[in-house]
Structure 1
Amino acid sequence: MVLTKTIGRAAAVAGAVAGGLAARRSRSRHDDTDVRRWFVVTVNRSPEDVMPDGKLPEPLARLGDAIEVRIRPAPGDKGAELAARLTPPPPPGSGPAAAKARLHGEDPRQQVRTALRQAKAILEVGEVVLPDAPGTTHPGLGGRLVAVADRVAHGEGRL
């Protein structure tokens, strides 16, 4: 009984700390100066190979005029840096509406991140490699949480 209470208290404290850190990080990363942020990937190709004949890779070309693209040599002759950002400013990055848009994959920044990841894969491997099966098919609460995290992860995270 005592162990259960201790574990419950530790989980509550850990959750409160994580929530506070996430809120603090969210405030610092999503201020008004962050709305025109460049998202960048390093591609193991020369800058000339990234955009042959002046054509963007298909995932980025699909976004059309919604993005601005920049290509330059990566530091240390490590290929090319492929950068993209939204041309119209995206909606503010915090608040309940923004969180809901991110959970449903409707945040335009997620589309830019996903397109950059896919373009990198196509340029380096020739195709976008996807997992064969979902991470879990467990019908319980844990399985549903993993499914939501998996869906959101496609448009989030580090490039």
Structure 2
Amino acid sequence: MRKRAWWILPVAGAAAVGVHRARSRTSGDDRTRDRWLTVTVNRPAEEVRPGGQLPPPLRPFDDRIEVDVRPAPGDRGTELAVRLKQPPGAARTSLPGRLAGQDPRQELRLALREAKALLEAGEVLHPDTPSTTRETPGGKLVGLLVRRSGGEGVL
């Protein structure tokens, strides 16, 4: 009986660490609400922001965001970082606010991903709609999770 119970300690410890990290990420303090959102684009800096202009998906946010363009580490392209000038309130960035689509960072994340795709591939690729196969139970679950993520890739 004792040998079977010892595996509980590492599992409980790992769970406690996970809960602590999740709470610190969603605490709503200023460090998380005004965090930079960054993508690495496989293009030189002069192509990422030609003539000082933002890529088209980010242009609607022009007056509401700060933009930082810098070389990526290891000479691997350019880092494009953006953040809102005015961080959203804690109620809008909370889990219920995110699920209701009230977090403005969701739109900014989506625009940043679309800007990366546009700069690297020349177009924003979307999956086929309707799909060419019939939906399976696993596919329904994935579809639910994708809808919950708000199209931004973060649940």
CA contact (8 A) 2:26 2:94 kept: no
The verdict on how the C-alpha distance between 1:81 and 1:104 changes in structure 2, with shifts beyond 3 A counting, is same
Q: Name the residue aligned to 2:78.
A: 80
Which structure 2 residues correspond to residues 70-109 of structure 1 after superposition, within 5 A?
Answer: 70-92=68-90, 98-109=94-105
Counterpart residue type for residue 68 of structure 1: E
Amino acid in structure 2 at the alignment position of 1:157: V
Structure 1 residues without counterparts, runs of 5 or longer = 1-18
Q: TM-score, normalised by structure 1?
A: 0.72
Query: RMSD between aligned alpha carbons?
Result: 3.4
Code of the residue aligned with 2:113 in structure 1: it is: R
- Cα deviations across residues 121-145 of structure 1 (Å, max 9, x unaligned)? 00000111000036797598x83x5
What amino acid is the match of 2:101? G
3-state secondary structure, aligned to 2:116: helix
Indicate the SS of the match to 2:67: strand
What is the match of residue 51 of structure 1? Answer: 49
Cα offset, 1:39, TM superposition: 0.7
Match of 2:152 among 145, 150, 155: 155
- Give percent identity, aligned residues only: 48
Letter in 2 for 1:34: T
Any conservation in 1 of the 2:66–2:84 contact (CA below 8 Å)? yes
Aligned residues: 141
Q: State the distance in 2 between where 1:139 and 1:120 align.
A: 31
TM-score, reference length from structure 2: 0.74
Q: Which residues of structure 2 form unaligned runs of 5+?
A: 1-14
